[in-house]
C-alpha cells in the first residue's frame, strides 16, 4: 500500500510573507520605499499585528526588509549578503575571484540578454534607455559604476527570470571590485559603447545579437581587468 505524504498548508505567517514579498518585488528598485506601519498592514491584510510582526521579522532575516523602530519598515535589498560574505573566504585571491566571476557572468548574462530581448516590456526598455542616458552623463567613476550595475540588473529584470536577478544580486559587491578595475582604469566609454550594442539589440527584440553583444561585453571586461586568460568559447 502506497501512502503519499500530505502537503502541509502554508501557515498564516507564511502567506503574509508571500504576499509582502510579491509586493516588494513588484515595486521600483530606483526609489526608497517603505511598507505601511504594522497596524495599517494588519488591517489591510485582515490579520493580527502578531502575524504581521512575525512575517516582517522573517523577511528582515532574509534581507528584504529593515525594521527601524520608531520610524517604520524599510524595503531593502540584502538577499545577496550571505554569498558575498563567503566569497572572500572561499576565494581569498582577488584576481582568482574576479576571474571566476567573469566565468560565471559569461555563463549567465548572455542568456539573460536573450530572454530580455524576447520578453522586455516597453517600460523595461525605457528603464534601460534611461539608465544608459544617465551613464553617458555620469559625473565620476563612482556614479558610472553604480549605473553600470543598474543596467545589468535591469536586463536581468527584463528577462523575467527572478533567479537571474538573485544571482546577480549575490555577486553585487564583487561586481563593484571588478568595475573598479575596468571603469576605474580605462573610463566609462567602453561600457557605454558595449551597453549601446546590447540595448539596441533588446530594443529590436533581436535575441541572438543581444547574446553576442553581452558575451563580447563581459569578455572585454575580463581583458580590461588584465585577468589570467580564460578558456572561453565563442557565443553560440
What pLDDT score does 141 carry?
85
Pick the CATH number of 81-224 from 1.10.630.10, 3.40.50.11540, 1.20.120.530, 3.30.43.10: 1.20.120.530
pLDDT range class, residue 80, cuts 50, 70, 90? low
| Distance between CA atoms of residues 199 and 179, nearest Å | 19
pLDDT range class, residue 71, cuts 50, 70, 90? confident
Q: How many CA atoms lie within 13 A of 131 on its CB side?
A: 25
Same fold, 12-75 and 81-224: no
Domain boundaries, the chain: 12-75, 81-224
Mean pLDDT: which of 12-16, 35-39, 117-121, 136-140 is highest? 117-121
Q: Is 68 left (phi over 0), alpha (psi -120 to 50) or beta?
A: beta
What pLDDT score does 195 carry?
96
pLDDT: which is higher, 70 or 151: 151
Is residue 7's pLDDT more than 70?
Answer: no
Q: What fold does the segment set 12-75 form as a domain?
A: Arc Repressor Mutant, subunit A (1.10.10)
What does pTM read for this prediction? 0.68
Predicted confidence (pLDDT) per residue in 162-204, tens digit:
889 888 877 776 777 777 767 766 678 989 999 999 999 999 9
Q: How far apart are the first and last CA of the chain?
A: 50
| Distance between CA atoms of residues 104 and 222, nearest Å | 12
| Distance between CA atoms of residues 190 and 120, nearest Å | 24
pLDDT range class, residue 83, cuts 50, 70, 90? low
pLDDT range class, residue 113, cuts 50, 70, 90? very high
Predicted confidence (pLDDT) per residue in 95-104, tens digit:
888 888 889 8
Cα 236 to chain centroid, rounded: 24
DSSP 236: -
Amino acid at each position: 500500500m502506497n501512502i503519499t505524504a500530505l502537503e502541509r498548508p502554508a501557515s498564516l505567517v507564511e502567506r503574509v510573507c508571500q504576499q509582502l514579498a510579491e509586493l516588494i518585488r513588484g515595486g521600483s528598485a530606483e526609489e526608497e520605499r517603505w511598507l505601511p506601519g504594522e497596524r495599517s498592514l494588519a488591517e489591510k491584510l485582515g490579520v493580527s499585528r502578531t502575524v504581521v510582526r512575525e512575517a516582517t521579522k522573517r523577511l528582515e532575516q532574509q534581507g528584504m526588509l529593515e525594521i527601524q523602530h520608531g520610524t517604520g519598515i524599510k524595503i531593502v535589498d540584502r538577499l545577496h549578503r550571505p554569498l558575498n560574505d563567503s566569497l572572500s573566504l572561499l576565494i581569498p585571491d582577488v584576481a582568482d575571484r574576479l576571474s571566476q566571476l567573469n566565468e560565471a557572468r559569461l555563463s549567465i548574462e548572455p542568456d539573460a540578454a536573450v530572454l530580455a530581448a524576447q520578453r522586455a516590456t516597453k517600460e523595461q526598455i525605457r528603464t534601460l534607455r534611461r539608465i544608459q542616458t544617465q551613464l553617458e552623463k555620469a559625473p565620476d567613476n563612482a556614479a558610472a559604476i553604480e549605473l553600470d550595475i543598474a543596467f545589468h540588473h535591469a536586463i536581468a529584470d527584463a528577462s523575467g527570470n527572478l533567479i537571474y536577478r538573485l544571482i546577480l544580486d549575490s555577486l553585487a559587491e564583487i561586481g563593484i571590485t571588478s568595475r573598479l578595475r575596468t571603469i576605474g582604469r580605462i573610463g566609462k566609454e567602453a561600457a557605454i559603447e558595449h551597453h549601446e550594442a546590447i540595448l539596441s539589440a533588446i530594443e529590436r527584440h533581436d535575441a541572438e545579437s543581444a547574446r553576442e553583444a553581452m558575451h563580447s561585453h563581459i569578455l572585454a571586461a575580463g581583458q580590461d581587468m588584465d585577468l589570467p586568460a580564460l578558456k572561453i568559447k565563442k557565443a553560440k
